[in-house]
Structure 1
């Protein structure tokens, strides 16, 4: 929490009683400012969401959810299992659960890196989609989810990646969570595409 610097403008010398009273008022005002800052509701662009996608007015939502206090898994409340034998764009769902002892918030896009089976350098970092992020509020034990899109590759002549695992980096974090890729198949490698068919959505959106 940051604090502004309070500058006391003093006038001409006054009686001792007046100075003591002024100092008491200034101290009270500073303490009130501290309490207001600590209890002020947080504001997020795009709205506020809670676990299980329920939306609510903005409010104080605790600290940011960190990688150390999150658990990840495949799927969403609406499904999210891709058919890697289809030639259509597929949706993959990932849930994130708050395993900490206190409330926390997630806001923005997660990092999604597909890691292939061909050795070092066989990776594909998905770009961000165009959706507007929201803030997701999670109580201990609650979960939320996000999705990402992939274009399956069905022919060996295409530039593609066969995922073995996926690294998930929560927003504003440097450490990632790793999930084994259980769906098989291959993803069309579009790292150089202007408008790739594989991209990631914000947490709690869609």
Structure 2
């Protein structure tokens, strides 16, 4: 449309003898045309409007990611409490090793991280306690268990060979970051370790997270 207007203006400006003015007017028209063209190009290619739209899209994506992270956090559950965990001990199939299961008996998912506290208990009850299990160098990870699910940890021991060791029939287990313990009966998994305290521990515990699932 602008190209068609310029020839129509030329005869009028020439008749008025305003060639210089016509030249200036032509420059002004060109500048105006360039500005209009630039505006049109900006509109057709997106220009600043497109950039703003991109920012809006990025903001929306960020909001979506934030919502997703919030949803994940809400499903991870609060810290597992001793009152909502049922411990039990089973064999692993490996010599001198026991697996302790912690089943979530609560109505919602819960999480835990780190090493449990484990103290050996003799056949005479809580007054007949043995050493605390020492921690291994296995790295701990956060585990989340839903209602009815379990996480586990391994307990390793060095059996007595002197014939004068002490037999332990139960474990006092304290979940990570808890202060209340639960008693676990070892039944036929009872084991005997050296009765002397010594410098090197005879029982070691891994962090929770040996296995997560529903008893498999």
Same fold, TM-score > 0.5, yes or no = yes
- Give the superposed CA RMSD: 2.8
SS at match of 2:138: coil
Alignment check: 8 A CA contact 1:81 1:93 kept: no
| CA shift in 2, pair 1:186/1:156, >3 Å | same
1:63 alignment partner, one of 54, 78, 86:
78
Q: Shift in Å at residue 152 of structure 1? A: 1.2
Q: Shift in Å at residue 162 of structure 1? A: 1.2
2:185 alignment partner, one of 180, 188, 192:
180
Larger relative contact order, structure 1 or 2 (CA cutoff 8 Å, min sep 6): 1
User: Which residue does the alignment assign to 1:13?
Assistant: none
Instruction: Give the length in aligned residue pairs.
Output: 144
1:134 alignment partner, one of 141, 156, 159:
141
Q: Deviations over 1:165-189 (max 9, x none)?
A: 1111000111111012212341224
Structure 1 alignment gaps of length 5 or more:
1-31, 43-58, 84-89
SS at match of 1:96: strand
User: Which residue does the alignment assign to 2:110?
Assistant: 104
Q: Shift in Å at residue 100 of structure 1? A: 0.5
Structure 2 alignment gaps of length 5 or more:
1-62, 212-216
SS at match of 1:137: strand
Q: Shift in Å at residue 161 of structure 1? A: 2.4
**TM-score of the aligned structures, taking structure 2 as reference length:** 0.58
Largest Rg, 1 or 2: 2
User: Which residue does the alignment assign to 2:166?
Assistant: 161
**Is 1:192–2:207 an aligned residue pair?**
no
Distance 1:81 1:170 in 2: 24
Q: Deviations over 1:117-172 (max 9, x none)?
A: 36735421111110110011111111111101011114334xx3211311110001
Q: Deviations over 1:47-102 (max 9, x none)?
A: xxxxxxxxxxxx85110010000111112xxx42675xxxxxx1111111111011
**Is 1:204–2:209 an aligned residue pair?**
yes
SS at match of 1:132: coil
Alignment check: 8 A CA contact 2:113 2:143 kept: yes
